[in-house]
Structure 1
Amino acid sequence: MSRTHRLFQLMQALRLGPGPHTAARLGGELGVSARSIHRDIATLREMGAVIDGAAGYGFTLIEDNALPPMGFRDTELEALVLGLREVEQIGDPELATAASEALRKLQARLPQRQAHRLRHAVLAPYRFDRPIPPAISAQELRQATWDEVEVRFGYTDGHGAVTERQVKPLSVVYFDRSTVLIAWCCLREAIRVFRLDRMQGLQITEQSFRPHRVPMLRDALEQFRHEHRQAARRTCKD
């Protein structure tokens, strides 16, 4: 194992778990002596890593944004590329653009061999039918969901009926043919799913429902799983 590769591996080991990580244990994982680990820790610190601790006490990595990425395994890189290229195809315009920019930044920061592997990845998604574009700003909706504030919009259902809705947005989900919002609907007083291509006139309110989004989403997903199990049982009986 080259020293450069060992430094990559050491950074990865330090990132796993809360620490502190003793030099003896790190050395055992990497197949080197504790003294080599101490020298490598000093090198990483010179490169900009903030590593707390000392000999005899163990080491804890404090992430430093000034430190370049320490590398990915080839399979991790393939997974990242596949995921980002999938987002380029199924995401709304802002998200698709962000995925493309992330790929370019990733390629610029990788070692030469892995940058070449990214450019010529053997895995690639392809969709003959792209999802229907949203009729509202998906970026604004995502931000409102993250901020945990209620939103209002007009909604056209599958029969063409239009209603005004105010909802607590919980999650945006990208399906094969459409993008949907899982939300608590104040009109129906229940969890509902809304297609973004059927929403109009999105308005962000100042009505906060923080910090309830995560437990509400967990309950909503459990409700969907329960309904799916019930439907499966009925199908089996038929």
Structure 2
Amino acid sequence: MCENKRIMTRTHRLFQLMQALRLSTPPATAAALAQDLGVTPRTVYRDIEALRGLGAVIDGAAGFGYTLIEDAALPPLSFDSDELEALVLGLREVEAIGDPALRGAAGRALSKLRARLPESQAHRLRHAVLSAARFTPLPEPGVDVVALRQATWDERRIRFAYTDAEGRATARSVDPLSIAYMQASHCLLAYCHLRADFRAFRLDRMRDLEVLDQSFRPNRVPMLRQYMAAMRAEEATHAEAATP
């Protein structure tokens, strides 16, 4: 048992070191990597050699710093120029409008791509023409968005406290269907059991999330399609009414 735990701990540390190399500005010194990981530089030296033995191409040596050239954790990748721009734009958009967990995930995904692409394409990735930015911060969610996403994937009913635009507080029990960026805020699209209808809830107005044992599987996808169709029909009606 102790040996298995030691092996699992070392494996986890190697994954952490690989991620630190992806995120660091090269060359990353052993001292800086050791500080990030909470280990000694001597441990970093040993782990660098272990990663090299597993197939990672890491340039550098003790006293000079290390640069990740090829990442053995990812398969070979090749993209044309437009595909690279699309990837950067999409991930930058997530960094701009995603919730805190997704913003971090988008940054890590970009670092993994840079580590695996040929240098000519990595250069285009670093200096892409397209980007995305927000100058007005989005309101922070009032609930754990990671737990909310997981409940949505698992098709588990949730309960939370909600305050509407007029300041009225209610307790809601809903079937979560999707999380969407709508009108400068993140919204949960759901079927609300209090109103017996589909509703959108701003995440910054939600509090005290509770994931319940009740499942509504396998209805999430058809329910979401129904909700989106209703939204499109309502939008079409508004557009027709506005036409002179």
- Specify if TM > 0.5: yes
Secondary structure at the residue paired with 1:159?
coil
Counterpart Cα distance in 2 of 1:220 and 1:133: 25
Q: Write the mapping of 1:48-197 to structure 2, written as runs, cut at 5 A.
A: 68-197=75-204
Matched, 1:229 2:236: yes
Structure 1 gaps, min length 5: 1-64
1:198 equivalent in alignment to 2:188: no
State, as a whole percentage, how many aligned pairs show the same letter.
55
From 210, 221, 230, the counterpart of 1:214:
221
Q: How far 1:66 moved relative to its partner?
A: 7.2
In the other structure, the counterpart of 1:58 is none
User: Which residue identity does 2:121 align to in structure 1?
Assistant: Q
Q: Please, what TM-score do these two structures have when normalized by structure 1?
A: 0.70
Letter in 2 for 1:76: E
TM-score under structure 2 length normalisation: 0.68
What secondary structure does 2:225 align onto? helix
5+ residue gaps, structure 2, are: 1-71
Query: Residue 106 of structure 1: CA displacement?
Result: 0.6
Pair 67,131 (structure 1): closer, same or farther in 2 beyond 3 Å: closer
The residue identity in structure 2 corresponding to 1:190 is D
8 Å contact from structure 1 (residues 130, 176) kept in 2: no
Once residues 168 and 183 of structure 2 are traced to their aligned partners in structure 1, the CA distance between those partners, rounded to angstroms, is 24
Contact 2:160–2:172 (8 Å) recurs in 1: yes
- CA distance in structure 2 between the aligned counterparts of 1:182 and 1:216, rounded to whole angstroms: 10
Q: Residue 70 of structure 1: CA displacement?
A: 3.3
Asked if 2 retains the 8 angstrom alpha-carbon contact of 1:183 and 1:191, the reply is yes
Residue 67 of structure 1: how far off its partner (Å):
6.8
Indicate conservation of the 8 Å contact 1:130/1:177, yes or no: no
Equivalent in the alignment of 1:50: none
Structure 1 runs of 4+ aligned residues shifted over 2 Å read none
The 2-side partners of 1:76 and 1:154 are apart by: 42
The CA distance in 1 between the partners of 2:96 and 2:151, in whole Å, is 23
